[in-house]
Structure 1
Amino acid sequence: MSHQPFPHANDEEEPPKLEPIISAMKCEQTGHIMEAILLYEESIYKLNQMSEAEPNKKHLCGKYIKVYETRAKQLREQVKSHLQSSRVLDHISIERDSRGKSYQRLFGAYLDDNVKEAHINEPHLTDQNHIRNLLNFLEVLVKNCRYLKYIRLTTRPDPVMPKNQQLILEQIRSDLATGNIQLHYQMDDTLHDRKIVLSSGVVIKIGRGLHYFEASDNSHTLGLCDFDFRKCQATEVDIWKCRAFAKKPKNPGEPQNDVDEASAEAEPNGYSSD
């Protein structure tokens, strides 16, 4: 399959060769719409940088910037229309000091083979308890979603130890890559909303984000591995459902338009035991 920028495939000028552009079109062609939007936006940012650094490419970059801005806008409108048709699936009130509210217990029913990408907005990932919560949620997500291939994590930068935060996220990214799952993370100083958006159309909003468990510095207590044993802080959870943002994975026996791409998409991630 060719990943040349489709709107200008016949132009004599060679298109800018940026990895996010190729990845964005691949994501769109394989049904990973949410990830495609962010990659198009990243491409636009890098094309603007290229235009400033290399004035002789300003006209060429400007032409492609307009193309990708238009495409990203179209995809955002598509996602917006899906969200507008959403309905409430469940509302959960978590009481202070309650137990039995692990990620698996609360969200496991919504994590299945239809989830191909997940977007996690979690503003606070700065201390050890935050990272433990993130890792446990990722374990639940990956274990339940056999066809998961993309995770986009957005958080605030650590104002005290930004390099340490980046090192930890890089380690998580590298580990997920061994299971054929791509993690992209980005920093947003203004991030406030806490939500998890799944490509199956499920949107999870938690008042406290992933961190509704009481923090503990004692590693010799129940709940270190099984979060059902952990005490919770009071919070509210809303789970919504809208139209899916991504195509459902095809069965290997179904006819495919593009054998290589479709076969890769039909394969479970590297963590699946099937």
Structure 2
Amino acid sequence: MSRNVDEIVEQAKPDLIEAVQLDQTGNKNDALQKYMQGISTLMSALNLLDNNDSQRDKLRQQINRYMSRAEELKNDTKIKVNSLEQRKIAANSTGHGYDRVFAKCIDDELESVIVKDAYIIAHHQMLNFVRFCELLVTKAKRLKRIELTTGKDGEKNKEGFAELSKSLEAREISLKIEYSDSIHDREIRFNNGWIVKIGRGLDYFKNPGKYSVGSCDMNLRQCHETTIDIFKTSRSGK
């Protein structure tokens, strides 16, 4: 496999390892979601391989094994998981502000959001998280709770998180912050059924400079290359 493919396959491993562990302990719902996330990542690697690449069949077989187990869990849990969209952001492209990326995930049913992002640490990353919270406040009328799990280094931002928490409390929204030295996920879960995985987390924008176009409007800001997978989960019969 090429180096890029190898890297993507490595990225899938934590989700798939966790899926197997959850599966073995009987946590079928969470196991199913982790299987689907890992499968989506492996599919990204598969798409980079030529049809005549000798490694393609091997990777396809691996995907099929995980897919078979995921299909079994779908029947057991009566939960339907669909990968509705894969949004590929090209390097230096624009038009990928949070309002556009997360538009379909935010509605009047949304009450809580869980963010797992290891890198809400630097000042600009904190601002990214604040902008994301602002979007939720603006668009989710019933929002009551936001949770963030980030890396241990994020503890240096406790004062900033406290300020953000106070401003959210004024709008009757609670903010819970947890720090982890082993977090690897970069995903956002919305309790209305949407799950978003972003290769770079919320930090996929380039720095335009203090006074350049894009410094305020994120849709005008150039981006780093990344892939965004958006899933919708729902119980069968709904």
Q: Which category of TM-score, normalised to the shorter sequence, fits these structures?
A: 0.5 to 0.7
Choose which of 132, 157, 182 in structure 2 pairs with 1:165: 157
Deviation at 1:219, TM superposition (A): 1.8
Cα pair 2:151 2:183 within 8 Å, conserved: yes
The answer to whether residue 181 in structure 2 is matched with residue 189 in structure 1 is: yes
Q: Distance in 2 between matches of 1:107 and 1:170?
A: 25
Asked if 1 retains the 8 angstrom alpha-carbon contact of 2:117 and 2:185, the reply is yes
Which residue of the partner structure matches residue 86 of structure 1? 81
Tell me, what secondary structure is at the counterpart of 2:211? coil
Whether the 8 Å CA contact 1:118–1:197 is kept in 2: the answer is yes
1:151 aligns with 2:143: no
Counterpart of 1:222 in structure 2 is: 213
Q: Cα–Cα, structure 1 residues 104 and 80, in superposed 2: closer, same or farther, change >3 Å?
A: same
Say if 1:154 and 1:185, in contact at 8 Å, map to a contact too. Answer: yes
Quote the residue 1:211 is aligned against.
203
Structure number with greater Rg is 1
The answer on whether the counterparts of 1:133 and 1:211 sit within 8 Å (CA) in structure 2 is yes
CA displacement 1:160-188 (0-9 Å, x = unmatched)? xx4x4111111111110000000001001
**So what's the TM-score if we normalise by structure 2?**
0.65
Superposed displacement of residue 78, structure 1:
5.3
Matched residues in 2 for 1:79 and 1:235: separation? 25
**The one of 169, 178, 184 aligned to 1:177:** 169
Counterpart-to-counterpart distance in 2, 1:202 and 1:122: 17
**Which residue of structure 2 aligns with residue 119 of structure 1?**
114
User: What amino acid does structure 2 have at the position aligned with 1:152?
Assistant: E
Match for 1:225: what amino acid?
A: C
Q: Which residue type is aligned with residue 143 of structure 2?
A: L
Structure 1 range deviating more: 121-130 or 194-203: 121-130
Deviation at 1:226, TM superposition (A): 1.4
**Greater strand share, 1 or 2?**
2
Q: TM-score, normalised by structure 1?
A: 0.57
Whether contact under 8 Å (1:82, 1:243) holds in the other structure is no
Structure 1, residues 203-238: CA drift from partner, whole Å, max 9, x if none? Answer: 00000000110134x321222221001000000000
* 1:109 partner SS: helix
CA–CA separation in structure 2 for the residues paired with 1:187 and 1:124: 11
- What is the number of equivalent residue pairs in this alignment? 167
Q: What is the DSSP-based 3-state SS (H/G/I as helix, E as strand, rest coil) of the residue aligned with 1:142?
A: helix
Task: Output aligned runs, 1:1-274, within 5 Å.
Answer: 80=31, 85-158=80-153, 162=155, 164-216=156-208, 218-243=209-234
Structure 2 Cα separation of the partners of residues 235 and 77 of structure 1: 29
> What's the counterpart of residue 11 of structure 2?
none
What fraction of aligned residue pairs are identical, expressed as a percent?
A: 28
How many Å separate the matches in 2 of 1:180 and 1:122?
24
Aligned 8 A contact 1:176 1:182 in 2: yes
Q: Alignment RMSD, CA only? A: 2.1
2: CA distance, partners of 1:79 / 1:176: 29
Q: What residue ranges of structure 1 are gaps of 5+ in the alignment?
A: 1-72, 245-274
Residue 77 of structure 1: how far off its partner (Å): 5.2
Kindly provide the amino acid, as one letter, of the partner of residue 186 in structure 2. Answer: R
Name the aligned partner's letter for residue 233 of structure 1: H
- Checking the alignment, whether the CA contact within 8 Å between 1:97 and 1:233 is kept in structure 2 is yes
Q: 1:111 touches 1:144 (CA, 8 Å); kept in 2?
A: yes
Q: How far apart are residue 88 of structure 1 and its match?
A: 0.5
| SS state at 2:229 partner | strand
Q: Is the 8 A contact 2:198 2:229 kept in 1?
A: yes
Q: Which amino acid aligns with 2:85?
A: D
Deviation at 1:109? 2.1
